[in-house]
Amino acid sequence: MKPMLPTLIFDKPGQQAEWAFEIKYDGFRGLLEIISLEKISLLSRNGKELIHHFPEIQLDIQRFIQEYKPTLPIYLDGEIVLLENQYKSNFSSVQVRGRMKNQKKIDDMANKRPCTYLAFDLLRHSEENLEKLPFTKRKEKLKKWCQTAGIPLKPIVGIENRIQMIPYEKNLEAVQEKVFEFEGEGILAKMTKSPWEKGKRTSTWLKMKNWKSVKCFITSLDTNNGYYYVGVYNQTEVVGIGQFYFGISPEEKKALNKIIKENCESQTKEFIHVEPSICVEIYYLEWVENQLREPHFHQFLFDLTPNDCTIEKMLLDEASLPDVVEITHPDKPLWESPPIQKLDYVRYLRRVYPYIHPFLQDRLLTVIRFPHGMYGESFYQKNCPDYAPDYVQTTLADDILYIICNDLRTFIWLGNQLAIEFHIPFQTYNQTDVKEVVFDLDPPSRNEFYLAVKIAGEMKKLFDQLQLITFVKTSGNKGLQLYVPLPEGFTWKDTSSFTKFIAHYLTANFPEVCTIERLKKKRNGKLYVDYIQHAEGKTIIAPYSMRGNNDGLVATPLFWEELVPDLRPEKFTMENVLERLKRKGCPWEKYDNAREQQPFNDILTFLKNQ
């Protein structure tokens, strides 16, 4: 059975009251048929069986069949994804999995980076065929079935459920905001009364991509396949950025080819090269390894010259920054080695926003600003400055007007202000509960970083025995920090008794390595276990924040298996962190979902009885 397909549009649909809007995820389309425990099929849009490529999805289906005993058979329409965040999938990783042949490698990837089936439509249930029902009716039945089967009603990162549901919204602007902030692929608009039409590309389902755009010039024509190669200037050098074919009309293509041939600079068997002169605007989804992904011609730019098409402007546009934030002096140098300019830093912030955002949400923010990068003085900023834009949310606490960084606009504005370090307290401004326990392991210098690695490993063993789920990150300087996320309801009195117990346990069991001495001159080269820092009113560097040191290091979440004796903090630079996020995902993706699994009450009861 071939799936129903949406039509691509470049504008909003009319009569929006007649439409429902879903997040579009970039993955493999899949029709899921669940007949029984033994008969599970997951077919691609071309009829290829995919279930063996995604054994984690099959295992979860078998689990909920046994646990909930839902009425079968069931036929679902959906997308196979690897969620980077709640609104975005990593398509290249799904594509790699789909091409794998070796079952051992498939199983290994299923354990390391599990994929998820996101169901957005219910086609048949039991003996009832639902294809002719209106979309909203099918969606209601899908939601009811998901509730019966214990399936999450929205995509959630970091949980064990490998089948989840995609909900819809009626407010297009709300969906657009989520897609933009979290760099999702786009939006599906579906007519509320539309039936499911097998194998048909229809205008009752529309897809709107989250396009980026680039202003560039044509450099050559591939005479074999008709592709146009495009580039931009990096000072006086032409930099190739990819090629396009789709989106240009036959009439425009004919005229363009004539101009290219008439203005040929040089020609080979395959290519006709031209001097930069013809400026165009291209829509695309991503720029990966110097290639535009899904490029579409948008328009000729007759009012631009090639000198207007620069790599700096392209990188600013590619970052998809909020329109209300102007990036001033993007070429300003911030670090000497590695050489990092302001534009590089702002682009880093844009990429890590989905990962740092949960930790900034509703926290009283303290930043350290470096107006001249590492070349000048820095200062702490707690109070929101008078010149802050109206969209910056603030709240008054202890006579300080703190910034609450709850959206991308505020985050990028702070980046443009050269706020390099983001420090957060251990609770939100609107709650008294403590959100997490944090231990700061501070060696005398980076030369003794191995001491932090050793003690972090010992703490992991202890916390495992206590059945506590823990997370570790570099401080971005010379130490490590261990986090224990907490469920609601715990006070500073509760957490201080725990942190004090752990610190004294470490100094008693590893006296040659650990100390709780506050004065540096009395630590005698030992690792300082800072449990005093975990207190009301104190702050700690946020995960993925950069640090104001000469190396441009990042406070980086780690996988526990990365803690080996020769691990070095210098490894975790801005470039390295972005690369590992793309390749490995976030080590802390299960952080928030670990809260309710923590037996912290039992531990406090034990401590009170000692």
For the chain, how are helix, strand and coil distributed in percent, rounded to 5? 30, 30, 40
The pLDDT tens digits for 274-319 are: 999 999 999 999 998 889 999 999 999 999 999 999 999 999 999 9
CATH number belonging to domain 212-318: 2.40.50.140
| For range 539-550, the mean pLDDT | 97
Number of CB atoms found within 10 A of residue 122's CB = 27
Rounded-to-integer distance, Cα 601 and Cα 595, Å = 12
What is the model's pLDDT at position 14?
Answer: 79
Rounded-to-integer distance, Cα 159 and Cα 114, Å = 10
DSSP 49: B
Would you list the domain boundaries of the chain?
Answer: 5-209, 212-318, 339-424, 436-540+550-608
Are 247 and 294 in contact, with CB atoms under 8 Å apart? no
Which of 17, 39, 22 is closest to 77 using CA atoms? Answer: 22
DSSP element (H, E) containing 388:
none
Give strand pairing partners of 33. Answer: 41, 75
DSSP 310: B
Are 305 and 336 in contact, with CB atoms under 8 Å apart? no
**Both tokens of residue 12?**
């909003």
Alpha helix positions (H), 321-391 = 342-360
Q: Would you identify the CATH topology of the domain 436-540+550-608? A: DNA primase, PRIM domain (3.90.920)
**Both tokens of residue 16?**
């929006």
| For range 509-529, the mean pLDDT | 95
Q: Please list, in sequence order, all residues whose beta carbon lies within 8 angstroms of the beta carbon of residue 144, skipping any fewer than 6 positions away.
A: none
Task: Evaluate whether 5-209 and 212-318 have a shared fold.
Answer: no
Domain 5-209 has CATH 3.30.470.30: yes
| For range 97-109, the mean pLDDT | 94
| For range 556-566, the mean pLDDT | 97
DSSP element (H, E) containing 296:
strand 296-300
The pLDDT tens digits for 111-163 are: 999 999 999 999 999 989 999 999 999 999 999 999 999 999 999 999 999 99
Rounded-to-integer distance, Cα 25 and Cα 89, Å = 6
Q: Are strands 186-191 and 201-209 parallel, antiparallel or unpaired?
A: antiparallel
Q: Please list, in sequence order, all residues whose beta carbon lies within 8 angstroms of the beta carbon of residue 294, skipping any fewer than 6 positions away.
A: 209, 284, 285
Q: Is residue 522 flagged as an active site residue?
A: no
The pLDDT tens digits for 366-398 are: 999 999 999 999 999 999 999 999 999 999 999
DSSP element (H, E) containing 5:
strand 5-9
Which of 234, 291, 345 is closest to 578 using CA atoms? Answer: 345
List the end-to-end C-alpha distance of the chain, in Å, as a whole number.
Answer: 65
379-391 burial, b at 16+ Cβ within 10 Å, e below that, comes to eebbebeeebeee
The pLDDT tens digits for 327-366 are: 999 999 999 999 999 999 999 999 999 999 999 999 999 9
What is the model's pLDDT at position 474?
Answer: 98
Choice among 2, 24, 190, 313 that is catalytic: 24
| For range 169-183, the mean pLDDT | 96
Rounded-to-integer distance, Cα 531 and Cα 442, Å = 11
Number of CB atoms found within 10 A of residue 458's CB = 15
Across the chain, how many H-helices and E-strands are there?
Answer: 13, 35
pTM (predicted TM-score): 0.95
The pLDDT tens digits for 402-428 are: 999 999 999 999 999 999 999 999 999
Rounded-to-integer distance, Cα 407 and Cα 37, Å = 44
The residue type at 572: F
Rg (CA), the chain: 27
